[in-house]
Structure 1
Amino acid sequence: MPLFDEWCECDVSENDRKRLLRYTEREGGRAGIAGRLPDLVRSHYDDMNRIAEDVAALGYAGAAALLAERLPRTARARSGELGEIFASELVEQALGFTIPVRRLRYKDGREMALRGDDFIGIRLDADGGLALMKGEAKSRANLASRTITDARAALSRDGGRPTATSLLFVADRLMEGDGEGAQLGRTIRNEVANRAVPANRIDHALFTMSGNATPQALAEDLQAAGTDRYQTVIHLRIEDHQEFIRVTYEGALALGNG
């Protein structure tokens, strides 16, 4: 079963091209998915086959030491990056787009935030037409209106299009391989050059995770958003937000203890 379906209840409000998804934990839902979270988090920082090779070559302690060099230590960095991880997973599970590159694998510093769009979703329709999703992810113990306003401003920049730098990053990673991935990378590079994808094929998504209930400001933000594209706003409520993040990262680092 998809992670969020097993873990959470989802209340959906839709109006024309706008939808608000409110996720709250089911009773016993967290216990049901707890065993899946360590590998989920690890997979966003490194290839799971490579981690297995590290275990074979270095043992669990050595492999864990390598993994620890990739994972953030500060509560702030962990909060932001777990928000990006959950946003990417939810986009793929519920919104009909793929996130073809796990960008946290390419950070140049453990505590350094990556620049550019927080996540970019890709979809190729039956006719080969490209559709994009530009996304922002915010994680706060208490989600306030200022954070929502800042996220919306980021979505609106560059005419609402994913930044060229972010798209090229995805395309370049895809073209390091071959086959369908390389072909998709070529398609994305062509889009950067031609800017041919119209606004109505570039969705916007704002993912938020916090300890407080869904703020009214999120509904107001969605109501004020433009109607020239599909707009999705998501809120995941984790009441013990900071403790949950700490336990999740400690679990990811505990190689061989599960």
Structure 2
Amino acid sequence: MVQFNDWCRWTNEPVGNNRHRVITCQAVNLPTGIQATAAVVAGHYASEEHVARALTRLGKPAAATLIQSKLPTTKAIRSGDLGEIYATEWIDSHSGGYRAPIKRLRWKDHRNMAMRGDDVIGIRQDTQTQNLQFLKTEAKSRARLTNQVLVEARAGLDKDGGLPSPHALSFISARLVELGNLPLADAIDDALLKHGIPAQNVQHLLFTFSGNAPAPLLTASIQAYSGPINQWGVGLHVEEHADFIGEVYDRVIDDANNA
């Protein structure tokens, strides 16, 4: 997990019946943030089992090469990927029980291509009814966040009537079957193919990672929404956005070579 509490401060603000949270990196804790992030990045691109097997069979240089070959090399793709990684990590640790059941970036078509479809879908299961609840997420990463970027994110959240797309859910279900998590795969298939997904079982998460303060933009975006689905906004603010991303990926490569 990315230990946000070790390097950021938090502020929460209600927006009508919805809410947003801003997570701000403290300058003095920047090295901690880089290390905490780098510690989880490799696992979003390659499973621990795959890396361990390469290490055992082929040795440390090959395992390091395996990791490095999966990391994007372009600034834009690194930025977008890291935004999705942060959204996934926030869902798993701070969303009140939702979990992102797969790490999508392990299945990228090419390391310098963006993933298609819903950025992240968090899922939690009611212990009594076994019904699934979904957190449909759009993650945006920009050195300078703008209203237009959030308009694009809103368009993504509103697709498919605001529900998780059938394609995204089918993708998750197929990966869960491969990973051996048959109960959750079956529950997703039941929701998608048998019962349907009512809007009250869905929440939206607009997650931003930016070099400028996101609070006013998140507030305006949430206020502009008039649909029936509950809205969350979460903004991670790191002033040295581009340099921070570069240092994170450099640290991932260094750690792989020195493991």
Shorter-chain TM range is over 0.9
Q: 1:164 aligns with which of 163, 166, 171?
A: 166
Distance 1:36 1:99 in 2: 19
What is the CA-CA distance between 1:48 and the residue it aligns to?
1.4
Are the counterparts in 2 of residues 117 and 135 from structure 1 also a CA contact under 8 Å? yes
* Shift in CA distance, 195/113, structure 1 to aligned 2, threshold 3 Å: farther
Query: Which residue number in structure 2 is paired with residue 48 of structure 1?
Result: 48
Q: 1:209 to 1:243 in 2, by over 3 A?
A: same
Q: For residues 71-93 of structure 1, give each alpha carbon's deviation from its aligned partner in whole angstroms, at most 9, with x where no partner exists.
A: 10000000000000000000111
Distance change >3 Å, CA 95–CA 76, structure 1 → 2: same
TM-score (norm 2): 0.93
2:134 aligns to what SS in structure 1?
A: strand
C-alpha distance in 2 between matches for 1:146 and 1:200: 28
- Pairwise CA distance, 1:34: 3.7
Percent identity between matched residues is: 36
How much does 1:3 deviate? 0.8
Once the two structures are superposed, what CA deviation does each residue of 1:112-161 show, in whole Å capped at 9, x if it has no partner?
11110000000001211210011000000100111000000110011000
Letter in 1 for 2:41: V
Query: 1:67: Cα distance to partner?
Result: 1.5
Q: Is the 8 A contact 1:17 1:229 kept in 2?
A: no
SS at match of 1:228: coil
Counterparts of 2:2 and 2:250, CA distance in 1: 23
Which residue number in structure 2 is paired with residue 71 of structure 1?
71
Structure 2 Cα separation of the partners of residues 166 and 41 of structure 1 = 22
Shift of 1:174: 0.8
Q: Offset of 1:26 from its aligned partner?
A: 3.1
Contact 2:2 2:40 in 1 (8 A): no
Deviations for 1:82-115, whole angstroms, at most 9, x for unmatched residues?
0000000001111121001101000111111111
Q: CA deviation at 1:28?
A: 3.4
Aligned length: 256
Could you tell me how far 1:227 is from its partner in structure 2?
5.5
Which residue among 127, 130, 139 is the counterpart of 2:132?
130
Code of the residue aligned with 2:202 in structure 1: it is: I
- Structure 1 range deviating more: 11-20 or 114-123: 11-20
Give TM-score, length-normalised by structure 1: 0.93
1:16 Cα deviation from its structure 2 partner: 5.2
After the TM superposition, which residues 233-252 of structure 1 pair with which residues of structure 2 at under 5 Å, given as runs? 233-252=233-252
Amino acid in structure 1 at the alignment position of 2:213: A
**Contact conserved, 2:34 with 2:247, CA < 8 A, in 1?**
no
Does the CA-based 8 Å contact 1:143-1:215 persist in structure 2? Answer: no
Which shifted more, 190-199 or 157-166? 190-199
Residue 174 of structure 1 pairs with residue 200 of structure 2: no
Query: After the TM superposition, which residues 34-113 of structure 1 pair with which residues of structure 2 at under 5 Å, given as runs?
Result: 34-96=34-96, 97-113=98-114
Give the letter for the 2:67 counterpart.
L
Residue 203 (structure 1) shift: 0.4
Structure 2 unaligned segments of length 5 or more: list them: none
- More moved, 169-178 vs 194-203: 194-203
